[in-house]
């Protein structure tokens, strides 16, 4: 299943601020649940991150597929620490399938029920090629259909992102600001 996610970068003074938007709604976490999305367990997600520069920002995605996204893996109840380098990328099955200046496509098989923190990396063209990083969260819920439709006996993790509020075990982390 294809997922389109817009990353808005805005220059505020000398800093860059980021927002993540999916389905025209700001979000701090991307939730993947194959059961809710009427997908088979063998199906996967392809996420297109599209960079939108605003307010004077002049960023591009880092062009190295091994350096454009860092990933660290948590558990189904705890968020991991923010990834600081590419060495954590081996903790997941996420793969970069393509990267351009404004679009990054990442393959997410959603095989594990867990949270991932990920860091998207950008080059600031107006600041001598300095690296800017944005680090939101994936919430893999590892659903998927076998032969029954959603609501017909399928299960899902006890975590949901509803109207800007993460419900479940990591709700406390969001409320206390322990995400970054």
**Per-residue pLDDT tens digits for 107-153:** 998 888 888 888 899 999 999 999 999 987 655 555 444 433 333 33
The answer to whether residue 177 scores a pLDDT higher than 60 is no
Q: For 8-22, 53-67, 120-134, 141-155, which range has the lowest pLDDT when averaged over its residues?
A: 141-155
Greater confidence (71 vs 47) lies with 47
Query: Would you give the DSSP letter of residue 145?
Result: B
Q: What is the Cα–Cα distance from 122 to 49, expressed in whole angstroms? A: 12
Could you tell me how far CA 67 lies from the centroid of its own chain?
15
Q: What is the Cα–Cα distance from 48 to 122, expressed in whole angstroms? A: 15
DSSP one-letter string for 147-160: SS-TTSS----S-E
Q: What is the Cα–Cα distance from 131 to 80, expressed in whole angstroms? A: 22
Nearest of 60, 41, 54 to residue 110 by alpha carbon:
41
Residue span of the structural domain in which 42 resides = 2-176
**CATH code at 62?**
2.60.40.420
Q: Are 23 and 82 in contact (CB under 8 A)?
A: no
Structural domains counted in the chain: 1
């Amino acid at each position: 299943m294809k997922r389109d996610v817009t990353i808005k970068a805005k220059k505020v003074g000398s800093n860059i601020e980021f927002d993540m938007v999916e389905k025209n709604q700001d979000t701090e976490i991307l939730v993947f649940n194959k059961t809710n999305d009427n997908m088979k367990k063998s199906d996967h997600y392809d996420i297109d991150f599209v960079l939108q520069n605003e307010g004077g920002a002049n960023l591009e995605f880092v062009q190295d597929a091994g350096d454009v996204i860092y990933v660290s893996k948590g558990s189904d109840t705890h968020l991991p620490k923010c990834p600081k380098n590419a060495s954590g990328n081996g903790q997941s099955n996420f793969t970069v399938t393509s990267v351009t200046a404004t679009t990054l496509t990442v393959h997410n098989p959603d095989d594990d029920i867990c949270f991932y923190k990920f860091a998207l990396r950008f080059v600031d063209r107006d600041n001598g090629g300095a690296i800017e990083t944005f680090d939101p969260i994936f919430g893999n819920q590892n659903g998927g259909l076998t032969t029954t439709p959603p609501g017909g006996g399928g299960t899902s993790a006890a975590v949901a992102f509803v109207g800007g509020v993460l419900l479940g075990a990591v709700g406390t982390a969001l409320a206390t600001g322990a995400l970054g």
